[in-house]
Amino acid sequence: EVIIVDTPAAAGEWVAQRISALVAGKPDAVLGLATGSTPLPVYAALERRVREEGLNLGHVRGFALDEYVGLPAEHPESYRSVIRRDVVERLGMNAELVCVPNGDRDGINTAGERYEADIRAAGGVDIQILGVGTSGHIGFNEPGSSLNSDTRVKALTEQTRRDNARFFPSIDEVPTHALTQGVGTILRAKHLVLLAFGAAKAEILAECVEGPVTASVPGSAVQLHRHVSVVVDEAAATHLR
């Protein structure tokens, strides 16, 4: 299903409604958490429901999509910091129930396998929130990623490093690699919610949703999933047929 809404805030409400309904029936539901700008309206809408409507996310488990390799956990832009700040603390989640891949260089060769085992032990992800990069990546699965991949280290493209340089003092400080859930990992979630806002995402969104399924556009793999909601604003929808 493709849902075109007026504003990112309306998209946030749409997704928050789905998550609230899930959690009402399954208080220990498992959410797949994205970072970056795209999911922020979802977290804002959830925060309002927690504050004003008594939504309780305290038993919900969470798995982040990815983490930079070699950025210390306490760095303000590590996804461990971002998830703690923007998600766990704001939404009243239990930090012990929310996992982020461990991007420390020490143990990086086995970190992917361990993350896959943790997701399996939790029973898999119920709703996976996804943004898409202008390179076509989901998670940090850059073009050329196997559509069957598991969590592993990927090199970031120059384009992705430029896109994410806004979070760092300079592009030189953007890490070159990330530990990311694989495309296969993402496809094992029960429900995918792909979000995109703004004209800069219009072309790549159309490739993901309507183009050929190809490792050159890892986001196109969502077409292989049986339950995908694509929630976009008008600007991001302009290239859809």
Q: DSSP secondary structure string, 216-229?
A: TBGGGGGGG-SSEE
Active-site choice (13, 47, 137, 163): 137
CB of 52 to ligand F6R, least distance (A): 26
CB of 180 to ligand F6R, least distance (A): 7
Residues 48-58, buried b or exposed e (16+ Cβ, 10 A)? Answer: ebbeeeebebe
Closest alpha carbon to 11 in 1, 3, 22: 3
CA dihedral defined by 24, 97, 124, 102, rounded to 10 degrees? 150
**Interface positions with ligand F6R (CB under 6 A):** 34-38, 65-66, 131-133, 137-140
Active-site choice (13, 47, 66, 67): 66
Could you identify the residue written with the tokens 């050329």? 144
Please list, in sequence order, all residues whose beta carbon lies within 8 angstroms of the beta carbon of residue 202, skipping any fewer than 6 positions away: 196, 235, 236, 237, 238, 239
The answer to whether 210 is a known catalytic residue is no
The answer to whether 66 is a known catalytic residue is yes
The answer to whether 137 is a known catalytic residue is yes
- Name the residue nearer to ligand F6R (CB basis): 59 or 176: 176
- Name the residue nearer to ligand F6R (CB basis): 12 or 131: 131
CB of 186 to ligand F6R, least distance (A): 9
CB of 40 to ligand F6R, least distance (A): 8
Active-site choice (67, 116, 126, 142): 142
Question: Which amino acids are annotated catalytic?
Answer: 66, 137, 142
